[in-house]
Chains A and B, each alone.
Chain A
Amino acid sequence: MMLLDGLYNSWFRPGLGRPPMPVAIVSILLVLIVLSFNAAGLTNSSASGWLGWFFLFLLGGGVGWFWLSAALHIMARLLGGIGSVTDTLGAVAQSLWPLILTGAANSALKVSPRLGLLFSLGINLWVVVNLVRSMAQEHQLPWVRALLCFGGAIILAELALVGLILWPLMITLGM
């Protein structure tokens, strides 16, 4: 019951603050299970294939979480944010929960492709709104700066990726 309360508050009343650790873990696990089911369906994987997707997403999700959180945190600090790294990590994790609806969106895609696409678009927008709102809340930023923080973080993350590719190339070719 406590878990259900926690999940409800985390999803629909984010203003109440960050959820306790078990609630956050369950929420993240639900997202991972749904996403891996979707991927397994798309590739018609067997049960063991689904497990493979799950662990791949667990690893990829973890790396992506740190990556996005780092970019958001740098941008938030540059724009005058006051939250800690833990606050940013929590904000990002908490904002991703609408992704559990992607299972339903994929199902809707079978009934009506337009409806399914609209549903998917809605989910993505919801995640972005959640991220902006939670960054504004955790770092006490006005919403315009929070929005800038998000946009800047995306650009920063992409640039960092380019840098990760270019640096080894530069060192290898330059040496």
Chain B
Amino acid sequence: MLRQDRLIALALIVICLMAALGNWLGGVPAQRPDPVARTSGGAADVALIPIAGVITFAGESSPLGGGTTAGAQGIMRAVRRAERDGVKAILLNINSPGGSAAASQAIFEELMRVRQKGKVKIVATMADVAASGGYYVAAAADHIVANPSTITGSIGVIVQIQNLTDLLKKVGVQTVTIKSGKFKDIASAYRPITPGETDLLKSFVNESYQQFFEAILRGRQGKITRAELEPVADGRILIGAAALDAKLIDSLGNYYDAVEQIKALTKLKTEPVIRNYLTPDWRESFQQLFTFSLDQWFPEQRLHRLTYWNKIPLALME
């Protein structure tokens, strides 16, 4: 049996730690004074989802929070959480030059799924740039707001391959490739591209572009026609004002104009409570706590490891 004084000390420690842990995991209660994004817990009207940096599936974040690339996994999880919490709207704050086609497409489809249910309105606001994959994601919104000088558009798909053979020849480096099929080393920088590979990559680019094009038509149904989209979907970039004329966006304005748009779409009378949904919830926080690796703290370490793997000739790498 524990003595009374020991029991009091133990109970005090447990209660205080649990209360503090609860403060961390639960955040502080939401309030309503102004439409500024809160990063705390509590019921929210609007889920803010920032999409910043290059869009990839995994995304990368620094150890003290904040991301260097926009991770589709995290963004899709945030959309699901927002839907589960019953928010009235999702506000996408996009500042991205694009990224992987698959990651952008995954986010687009997830947003469209929510939008088609009709319960949650989606508004996108564009910052410095929302081009290519950034625009792909924005196309899923009910309303797109961009600054007059925002760089957007760049609707297209690109594959770039370097041919280093002349350079390597100069320094006396020879590459030996042993492959299981004729296309296994497609896009190799160690030899010129073949006509067969060019055709294959062309069809891949065209198919990917067609998916992108159709997605925009689907996302902006009733706002832009196929005939109107075709001339501006040739990879060109546009500034916000030109994008409005081209019907790629719905209005000009900033973040606060996007919030006003949300109020109009959701018929909210008061200032909405906005919460950043990209910050991890308590389960993800615990997951991060137990799975954080040295790579997060020392990114050079990963580079060294990748360099090591590249030296092994039979590594299964693309």
A100 to B9, alpha carbons, bound, how many Å? 12
Q: Cα distance A50–B9 when bound, in Å?
A: 25
Contacting residues, chain B, for A52 (C-beta < 8 A): 63-64
CB of A122, distance to nearest CB on chain B (Å): 14
Q: Does B285 contact A (CB under 8 A)?
A: yes
Q: Which residues of B contact A (CB under 8 A)?
A: 2, 5-6, 8-10, 12-13, 15-29, 39-41, 61, 63-65, 276, 279-280, 284-286, 288-289, 292, 296
- Pick the most buried of A9, A45, A46: most chain B CB atoms within 10 A of its CB: A46
B-contact bits for A39-56, CB 8 A (1 contact / 0 none): 011111111111110000
Q: Is the CB of A106 within 8 A of B19?
A: yes
Contact B17 A30 (CB under 8 A): yes
Closest to B286 in A: A47
Structural contact, A103 and B40, CB atoms closer than 8 A: no
The digit string for A105-133, where 1 denotes a CB below 8 A from any CB of B, is: 01101100000000000000000000000
Closest residue on chain B to residue A107 by CB atoms: B19
Q: Are B280 and A46 in contact (CB under 8 A)?
A: yes
What residues on A are CB-neighbors of B285 within 8 Å?
46-47, 50
Number of A-B residue pairs having CB atoms within 8 Å of each other in the complex: 117
Interface residues of A (CB under 8 A from B): 1, 4-5, 7-9, 11-12, 30, 33-35, 37-38, 40-52, 100-104, 106-107, 109-110
- Residue from B10, B16, B18, B40 in contact with A44 in the complex, judged by beta carbons closer than 8 Å: B40
Residues A49 and B10 in contact in the complex (CB < 8 Å), given A44-B27, A100-B16, A104-B19: no
Which of the residues A42, A48, A110 comes within 8 Å of B296, measured between beta carbons?
A48
Sorted nearest first, the 9 A-B pairs with minimum C-beta distance are A103-B20, A47-B289, A37-B20, A41-B23, A103-B19, A44-B39, A41-B24, A8-B9, A4-B6
Complex CA gap A8/B65 in Å reads: 37
Which residues of chain B come closer than 8 Å to A8, judged between CB atoms? 5-6, 8-9
Interface SS, B side: helix
Q: Given that A8-B6, A11-B9, A44-B27 are contacting pairs, would A103 and B16 also be in contact in the complex, using a CB cutoff of 8 Å?
A: yes
CA distance A92 to B133 in the complex (A): 57
Other contacts beyond A41-B28, A41-B40: 11, CB < 8 A: A4-B2, A8-B5, A8-B9, A12-B5, A33-B17, A37-B24, A38-B24, A42-B23, A100-B16, A107-B22, A109-B28
17 inter-chain pairs at a CB distance below 8 angstroms, sorted by A residue, are: A5-B5, A5-B9, A8-B5, A8-B9, A11-B9, A33-B20, A34-B16, A41-B25, A42-B28, A44-B40, A46-B65, A50-B289, A52-B63, A103-B19, A104-B16, A106-B20, A109-B28
User: Nearest chain-A residue to B292 (Cβ)?
Assistant: A48
Q: Is there an interface contact between B279 and A48, defined as CB atoms closer than 8 Å? A: no
Q: With A5-B5, A41-B27 given, is the CB distance from A48 to B20 under 8 Å? A: no
